[in-house]
Structure 1
């Protein structure tokens, strides 16, 4: 039982770390002369980075990624609270719901970024590793949320 509990906690924390890194790192899109992310556009020619575009779609992606981090963190806190207060045989439904919502937020943000990114059609541009981390965090958060929804508290 202890190994299962540690595995679930490790899965949750790894999804949370991936969400945090993918939101804060400046490599969602790369091109030969620099990188861009949700917050900054950086060029290799200069030290100064410009702010990201002020389009509504990038603000939606920013909000969804921040919401995914918040909901995943709240889910982890709620799991620890329920671990000590939930009666024997009870399910971790609220924890699972929060984690599933976090996964849906990150999926929605990544889809919006994919469809609305103005640079995706250029030949030299590609998606960076932070974008890929967001897509990796989605199934991890979804799987951990589903595990929480099915999990029963045992003695």
Structure 2
């Protein structure tokens, strides 16, 4: 049982790291000498990098908010798991943890879908941060489903 709990905890930490990196990294779209993320549009020229703030469009602000919510709910899910691990009665299920984790997965999925649909088609390729967001979605969904099935045993 200890090995299962350790595995679930490691999976949860990996998901949290993926979400943090995909939210903060500046590689949602890359192309040539420029990169775009949720916060800045950067261009490298003359040996330097020049960044300007991302547009104030509603869709990018929605993606920013959803990714921040995904990180927060994943973190709250981790705290709920650790709390329930010590306070939950024998045989209890980790429902609060599962709800927070599934909400985090839905938030990251919605953010990635909005970014895919609304980002301008400017010939740039999707970067690793965008891919990490899509990888974090099924992992957090599976993690939430594992928490629903998981029971506390002595």
Same fold, TM-score > 0.5, yes or no = yes
Deviation at 1:137, TM superposition (A): 0.5
Which of 65, 86, 95 lines up with 2:67 in the alignment? 65
Q: Any gaps of 5 or more consecutive residues in structure 1?
A: none
> Which residue is equivalent to 1:25?
25
Deviating above 3 A after TM superposition, structure 1's stretches of 4 or more consecutive aligned residues are none
Per-residue CA deviation, residues 31-69 of structure 1 (Å, 9 max, x unaligned), is 112100000000011423100011000000000000000
Q: Tell me if 1:127 matches 2:132.
A: no
1:85 to 84, 87, 93: 87
Q: Which residue of 1 aligns with 2:144?
A: 145
Alpha-carbon RMSD across the aligned residues, in angstroms, is 0.8
TM-score normalized by the length of structure 1 = 0.96
Pick one of 86, 96, 106 that aligns with 1:94.
96
User: Which runs of 5 or more residues in structure 2 are unaligned?
Assistant: none
How many matched pairs? 152
